[in-house]
Amino acid sequence: MLDPRARRDLERAVGKERVLTRPADLAAYAYDAYGASGERRLADAVVFPTTTDAVSRAVHACAHHGLPVVPRGAGTGYAAGAVATRGGVVVNLCRMNRVLEVDPGRSRLRAEAGAVTAAIHRRAEAAGLYYPPDPGSATTSTIGGNVACDAAGPHALRYGATADHLCGATAVLGDGRIVTLGEGGDPSPLLPLLAASEGTLAVITEVLLRLIPAPAARVTLGARFAGMEGAAAAVAEITRRGIVPAALEFLDRSAVDAVAHAGVSDVEPGAALVLVELEGGDAAAVGAEADSVVEALEAAGGGAVSPASDAAEVARLWAVRKAVSAAVATIMVGKVNEDVVVPRDRIAELVARTEEIGARHAVPVVNFGHLGDGNLHVTFLVDPRRPGERAHGDAAAEDLFEAVLGMGGSLSGEHGVGTTKLAYAGRQLGAGGADLMRRLKSRYDPAGRLNPGIKLPAPTQAS
């Protein structure tokens, strides 16, 4: 329950009509995409500032009243990071959604933090340029949320994640101070730290992004495989040939079956699918790479390999990949959705382990993701309405994390730690890594005001 004086100060900060405190209103902000099948927590208030100054005033008011601040974009996060797990005020950036400037001469784009990722793509494209990070949520997620999670997506394999395109930002610190970082501002080490900070170091209000020339040539190929061993062998062969595709994605057989079953996209069930996209400035060179990739896919046992012949065929291939999340949601109401990374040459082994783990806990599993990066979206399907089934899914996730850490992998490739992986983060980071993160947090947010309870393992959790 919000103190009336705190409410009054928040209303002064952002405007009376931009402060929500009724439980019925707060409920819509009590979860993110992860919480669609679980965790919910009401904030004391949700505020919708429209300028950096208003964010600063709101954060200052929270500091004055001792309230936690939870930055939030579109709430598409998969780690329950934009939820007020310890109460406090959700600062929702979605009304700061303008692309402010595109400078083709300098290949730069400046946008407010609540700008939707797809709007960034469109504005870059209209200027003949390219912003490669393309999370599957791009039509909804915000660029501030992308920075805070260092969002990646299929094309990160060649071009890197959001951090690799961030050259400046305006942000509000936990005491309400405004800082301008990077190009045209303070050369502070805080700028690179904002990427993947999950709202724990500052509220990002504006970003300056580096764009690249749009590729003149692109070839997209699909190939079907009887199992993941063949798909993994194809990746090894493509790598051995020195080719770095723009994207190298996969769906295992159960993911393809889910898409076919849900009827959300046109695909034959019964085989794993690998999708390769090659891009470059020279059509002949991209064509030669495509020929070499066809050979590599066929040598590894790939069937029905052929470059997409037209834009409609390219769109169909990507539609299958992008339909997986929605397809899975149509075959089961709940899911425990993980985002682990293992060395690329161990992907087939991990997929086999996930099947064993799913069978042991009696939860079906679907695997898909970024084959070229070793980043698997392992999805255990659960029906939370059945007693105990959510717990089976959580136990499967725990076994998965053990397996991944044992393979020298990482708990999250792109979705972040949030609260959902917090119990394991200490084990991955070790005592030294966790301590370093806590020291960085106390340097930039000494009062611990920003997103408490997220991302940082407590001292006792670090091994």
Ligand X SMILES: Cc1cc2nc3c(=O)[nH]c(=O)nc-3n(C[C@H](O)[C@H](O)[C@H](O)COP(=O)(O)OP(=O)(O)OC[C@H]3O[C@@H](n4cnc5c(N)ncnc54)[C@H](O)[C@@H]3O)c2cc1C
Per rule CB under 6 A, is residue 318 in the interface with ligand X?
Answer: no
Among 135, 168, 245, 302, binds ligand X (CB under 6 A): 135
For the chain, give the longest Cα–Cα distance: 70
Q: Which is nearer to ligand X, 71 or 393 (CB)?
A: 71
Per rule CB under 6 A, is residue 77 in the interface with ligand X?
Answer: yes
420: its two tokens: 């959902």
Among 35, 49, 68, 81, binds ligand X (CB under 6 A): 81
Report which residue type is found at 288: A
CA contacts within 13 A on the Cβ side of 384: 11
Q: Which is nearer to ligand X, 82 or 286 (CB)?
A: 82
Residues in binding contact with ligand X, number by CB under 6 A: 38
Among 414, 426, 453, 462, binds ligand X (CB under 6 A): 414
The secondary structure of residue 34, as a DSSP letter, is G
CA distances from 296 to 155, 225, 230, 304, 443 (A): 20, 13, 11, 13, 50
What's the rounded Cα separation, in Å, for the pair 269 and 256?
6
Site string for ligand X, 263-302 (x = CB under 6 A): ----------------------------------------
Q: Which stretch binds ligand X (CB under 6 A): 196-204, 257-265, 306-314, 389-397?
A: 196-204
What's the rounded Cα separation, in Å, for the pair 451 and 46?
14
Q: Which is nearer to ligand X, 33 or 61 (CB)?
A: 33
Per rule CB under 6 A, is residue 152 in the interface with ligand X?
Answer: yes
Residues 6+ apart with CB under 8 A from 342: 349, 350, 374, 376, 404, 407, 408, 409
Per rule CB under 6 A, is residue 199 in the interface with ligand X?
Answer: yes
In this structure, the number of other CB atoms found within 10 A of the CB of residue 414 comes to 25
Per rule CB under 6 A, is residue 375 in the interface with ligand X?
Answer: no
Q: Which is nearer to ligand X, 91 or 305 (CB)?
A: 91
Query: Whose structure tokens read 């003149």?
Result: 216
**3-class SS of residue 364:** coil
Per rule CB under 6 A, is residue 415 in the interface with ligand X?
Answer: yes
From the CB of 19, what's the least distance to ligand X, in Å?
A: 18
Judge whether 71 and 148 are in contact, CB under 8 Å: yes
The secondary structure of residue 307, as a DSSP letter, is E
Among 88, 153, 176, 302, binds ligand X (CB under 6 A): 153
Among 13, 19, 26, 33, binds ligand X (CB under 6 A): 33
Q: Which stretch binds ligand X (CB under 6 A): 44-52, 150-158, 228-236, 383-391?
A: 150-158
Beta bridge mates, 248: 276
Q: Which is nearer to ligand X, 360 or 443 (CB)?
A: 443
Among 19, 54, 89, 151, binds ligand X (CB under 6 A): 151
Per rule CB under 6 A, is residue 428 in the interface with ligand X?
Answer: no
Among 35, 49, 75, 453, binds ligand X (CB under 6 A): 75
Judge whether 335 and 37 are in contact, CB under 8 Å: yes
**3-class SS of residue 388:** coil
Q: Concatenated DSSP letters for 3-26?
A: -HHHHHHHHHHH-GGGEE--HHHH
The residue ranges that bind ligand X (CB under 6 A) are 32-33, 70-78, 81-82, 93, 113, 135-137, 141-142, 144-146, 148-149, 151-153, 198-199, 203-204, 325, 414-415, 418, 451, 454
